[in-house]
Structure formats: C-alpha cells, structure tokens
Amino acid sequence: MATKANPTRDDFAALLNEHLGGEDESFEGRVVKGTVTAIENDLAIIDVGLKSEGRVSLREFSAPGQPSTLKVGDEVEVYVDRVENAQGEAMLSRDRARREAAWDKLESEFGEEKRVEGVIFGRVKGGFTVDLGGAVAFLPGSQVDIRPVRDVTPLMDIPQPFQILKMDRRRGNIVVSRRAVLEETRAEQRSGLIQNLTEGAVIEGVVKNITDYGAFVDLGGIDGLLHVTDMSYKRINHPSEVINIGDTVKVQIIRINRETQRISLGMKQLESDPWEGAEAKYPVGAKLSGRVTNITEYGAFVELEAGIEGLVHVSEMSWTKKNVHPGKIVSTSQEVEVLVLEVDSDKRRISLGLKQAQSNPWADFAEKYPIGSTVEGEVKNATEFGLFIGLDGDVDGMVHMSDIAWGISGEDALALHRKGEMVKAVVLDIDDEKERISLGMKQLEKGAPAVGGVGTGPKKSEVVTVTILEVRDGGLEVQAGEDGATGFIKRADLGRDRDEQRPDRFQVGQKLDAMVIGFDRSKKPNFSIKAMQIDEEKKAVAQYGSTDSGASLGDILGEALKSKKTD
C-alpha cells in the first residue's frame, strides 16, 4: 500500500487492520498457535502474534490430577476470546481450545459409534463428570458399571474407554456410559467362551451369587445358572443349604443356548442316580422307615434315602382321622413307618401309605366284638338319620334312627338322646373295607328279635300270636305277645283270597296268629297270615291224604279242623 503524505484517520485504521491480519481475519473466536514467553507463578505468558500477550493458568495445561509440564518456548494452541481486555491484554483460553478440538473429534467418533477415552474427575448430582480430552461429559450413576458400584474412587483419575450415548454441541451436553463398554466387552468374551464350551462337559466355577431359585457360577468370564433342582437329588429348601458365595464347585454343562448366551449347569448329574433300580429296592407292599421332610395340604413327603422321597397322600395317613390337615398327624423330621403302595421310576414317584403300616382298627374291632356283641360308647354326634357312637379303637358306629327304640317313630327316638350321653348297643353288622359299623339299641330291649343267633325273639317260620297296634292301608302294625317285638303284616299277606286282604276288616287290639317270614334291615320281624294258611294246608294234606286219593281239599281241611278241635 502506498503511503500518503497526509494520512487520514481512516488510513491509520486500515494500516492497523493490516498489521493485525485484516478486519476479515479477526482472531477473536478462533483457535490459534502461540509461544510460551514466560511463566510467572501459576500463569503462562503466551504470545499469539497480537499487539499484546495473554495470560493462561497453568492448570489448563495439565490433565486432571496431574502437574503441569509446560515450559518457556513451548508452542501451544489457545482460544482467543478477545483481542484486548480493559488491561490491554489478550483474553486466551487453553481449555476452550482443547474443548473446541475435542468437540470436533468427538462428533466424528460419535457418528462412527466409536469408543472414546476419558477420565472420571468429579462428582455431581446423579452421577459423575468425565474429561474427554477437553470436553466435559456427564456419566450417570446407572452407567458406571454392569452392577451397582458403592465406591467409585478406584475408577477416578484413570483413563478408560466410554461410549457416547448423546451429545448436543449447541447446549454443550455430552452423556457417556462406561457400562455399555463393559457389556459389549463382556458379550464378546462370552461369545468366545461359549464357542469353547460343550454340553455334557464337566468344569469348575466360582459361586458369584445365590438366589431363592439357584446360584450363578462364574465359569471364567461367563456365568451359568445352577438351578436348585439340579444341585442334589435330595430335597433342598434353599441353595444356601448346599453352597456359599465364593465356593469353587464342579458342575456339568446341561444346556447351552448360543443365541441368548445362557448356560444351565448341574451338580447332581455328577452323582449316581438313586432312582435307578428303585422298583427292585422298594417293592409294592414293603414296609419301610423314613423321615418326614415336607408337609403340604394334600399330604406329606417321606425321605426313604438321600434323593428318594415318597408321598403319603392325606387319604392314606390315618384310619380314623378324616378331613384333617396332615400337619396334625405327622410333623417335619419325624421318623415314621410306611407301606409302599405304588412305584413309578420313570416319573420318579413313590406312593406310600402311613395307615397301612398300622393295624386296621375296623378289623381289630370286628375280631374283638363279633356281630351280636354288646358295646358301650359315647354319643359323638346326632344326625337326621341316626346316632354316631364312639367305640374302642377310636372308631365310630352308627345307630340308624329305626334301630333306636321299638314302638315309636325314628324322629321321636332321636329326640330321646343327646350328644355326650353314654349308651349301650348291639353290633348288627361290620364292614371293615367300607369302614362301617352298624349298631342297634332297640335290639337290647326285652323281647327284641335275635341278632346273630343271640336273643329270645321270634324265629323265622314260627307261628306266633300277635296283637294289632295300628291298621294302615298297606297292612297291619302288630306286636308279638305283650312285651314282644313289633312287626308288620303287609296287605298281600293278610290272607290267600283278595277279599281277605282288606285291612279294614281288622281292628286295633284284635289278636290273631301269623307266621314270621323274615326280618327287615333292623331285624324287625315281618309276619304273614297267608304264609301260615299255606303252611297249614301243606301239613293237612301230608297228614290226612293227598289230592290223588279222591278226597276233596274241603274234606281234608274239614278233617284237619275237626282233629284240631278234638285236641
């Protein structure tokens, strides 16, 4: 530029701009190179080619936690914030320079999804600050490690890789994750390790964690799950009964899922299977001893040996205690005797019976008290159809309402007795398979019919004199003798002819002869006039002639009646 003889103010400004690099090439807002000309206390004096030098703190030239190694003559890059401040000095920043350069690099690496190196140097709410070579990023607490970390101090001030999750240069925000790098590295290691593992292989591992359902075992960089059901053949309530965290265990690889990278492990597979030959060791009908290991609503499990348990169903626990919880019959760890009912080795199931190993109280009662025996017991319960009586051997017998008393209805007979009352009864029937004992109380009354050959009541085919107690449409209610057993004559048994089978031709209190033709369920006699007439006819024919002799039936009966009157 040619110099004018009398330069104006504009000419002087143009000369100054030319000296500073020109107005279009302003230094402000740019990263430029400068030279350290001096170091004063903790400040570095830097010349960047401006009319004045700038001062920058030595702290900006050192890594977090490291001392500065800057010396006079070093060439450095700084950011020009302003060309001149109020003191006439250039406003320079090494941090801004590093940050601008770092952002350019980080944006490129973020776009390529590359890992970046950084240093954790501070704590903030919800996480930590990370220096990424000049740019400060935020590390959330949940992204520090794969598992929660209580103390992060050992991880601070150490260069390590991070993954950028999000960045916004305009707002100056960067979010990074250390966990993502660890998971990726771990996945790579797992993939490599899984390729070297085979199902059925036996290896050693270290127990890392225990849960209610099993334990996680470290196989040297990859974890496998040892389920509680694969720890032992015997029942285990919690994995801690068998192993502890830190234990070295020998396991067998049961399954490998290479897609999900999940490995299933087993310990019991290394032991001999106790179920082999179980049917031979535990034949049906064998009586064994075992220990109660678990009690449920539906029964109790009994351990016969380590690894083999059988189930005693609630229905097979007691002869006499019905509809009660198994815990009221047996207790955990109790030693009991059981009988083998069924064995299924394929399904690994053994059905056991507790009551079958004991004597059947119903059979014992039948042996001690045969039919016709008299017993005494307490009325345990009164129902609408009868009374339940407590008997020896903790069994109950039932007195049907029709067997409580003679001469009154069953409902009235039930009303005569109450719960807790001691009563006597006779054994009418015993069915030990159905666990039933039928009792009768009225059979002990005077004149009652015989039960099982015991008693003095009327016998079958015997002709007795009865008194009519009640006339009904269906027949007659009668009583043998004055204090004898009551019975019934059906309408069809009132006579041989239809005209004789009308109940209305009889009256209450009338006495007549009838034959005992049988007994009902309660041993109450059934009478028949018709059967008596037929029987008398047969005897008359046998004694006075036959129908082939030419005599009529009327002649024969006439002779029989005449002979009877003479007698």
Please report the DSSP string for 113-139 in residue order. Answer: T-EEEEEEEEEETTEEEEEETTEEEEE
Classify strands 223-227 and 262-266 as parallel, antiparallel or unpaired: parallel
Q: Where are the alpha helices (DSSP H) in 221-343?
A: 278-281
Per-residue pLDDT band for 7 (boundaries 50, 70, 90) equals low
Helix H, strand E, coil C: the string for 141-152 is HHHCCCCCCCCC
Nearest to 339 by CA among 419, 282, 415: 282
Q: CA-CA distance, 176 to 191, in Å (whole number)?
A: 25
Who's near 49: CB < 8 A, 6+ residues apart?
21, 32, 34
Can you give the pLDDT at residue 313?
93
361-444 fold: OB fold (Dihydrolipoamide Acetyltransferase, E2P) (2.40.50)
Can you give the pLDDT at residue 34?
79
- Superfamily for domain range 113-183: Nucleic acid-binding proteins (2.40.50.140)
Average pLDDT over residues 410-425: 87
Nearest to 232 by CA among 301, 344, 308: 308
Can you give the pLDDT at residue 312?
92
Can you give the pLDDT at residue 522?
57
Per-residue pLDDT band for 134 (boundaries 50, 70, 90) equals confident
Strand, helix or coil for residue 208: strand
Q: CA-CA distance, 222 to 207, in Å (whole number)?
A: 12
Average pLDDT over residues 123-151: 88
283-353 fold: OB fold (Dihydrolipoamide Acetyltransferase, E2P) (2.40.50)
Can you give the pLDDT at residue 110?
87
- Residue % of the chain over a pLDDT of 70: 82
Order the strands of the 54-57 sheet from edge to edge: 54-57, 43-47, 30-40, 75-82, 91-93
Q: Bigger pLDDT: 417 or 189?
A: 417
Looking at domain 25-97, its CATH class is mainly beta
Q: CA-CA distance, 99 to 134, in Å (whole number)?
A: 4
Can you give the pLDDT at residue 389?
92
Nearest to 303 by CA among 282, 277, 321, 276: 282
Find out whether 316 and 341 touch, Cβ atoms under 8 Å.
Answer: yes
197-270 fold: OB fold (Dihydrolipoamide Acetyltransferase, E2P) (2.40.50)
Q: CA-CA distance, 325 to 148, in Å (whole number)?
A: 46
Domain ranges, ordered by start, for the chain: 25-97, 113-183, 197-270, 283-353, 361-444, 463-544
Is the confidence at residue 545, as pLDDT, over 70?
Answer: no
Q: Bigger pLDDT: 162 or 402?
A: 162
Can you give the pLDDT at residue 407?
65
Can you give the pLDDT at residue 318?
86
463-544 fold: OB fold (Dihydrolipoamide Acetyltransferase, E2P) (2.40.50)
Average pLDDT over residues 47-58: 73
The residue written with tokens 């009164």 in the block is 382
Decide whether 113-183 matches 361-444 in CATH topology: yes
Per-residue pLDDT band for 481 (boundaries 50, 70, 90) equals confident
Q: Bigger pLDDT: 486 or 91?
A: 486
Min mean pLDDT across 90-94, 121-125, 241-245, 553-557 is at: 553-557
Strand, helix or coil for residue 433: coil
Can you give the pLDDT at residue 113?
86
Q: CA-CA distance, 247 to 52, in Å (whole number)?
A: 70
Highest mean pLDDT among 175-189, 254-268, 401-415, 491-505: 491-505
Average pLDDT over residues 218-242: 85
Q: Is the pTM of this model over 0.85?
A: no
Max Cα-Cα span within the chain = 195
Is the confidence at residue 433, as pLDDT, over 50?
Answer: yes
Average pLDDT over residues 39-52: 76
Average pLDDT over residues 494-508: 90
Find out whether 485 and 443 touch, Cβ atoms under 8 Å.
Answer: no
Is the confidence at residue 24, as pLDDT, over 50?
Answer: no
The tally of CA atoms less than 13 A away on the side-chain side of residue 126 is 3
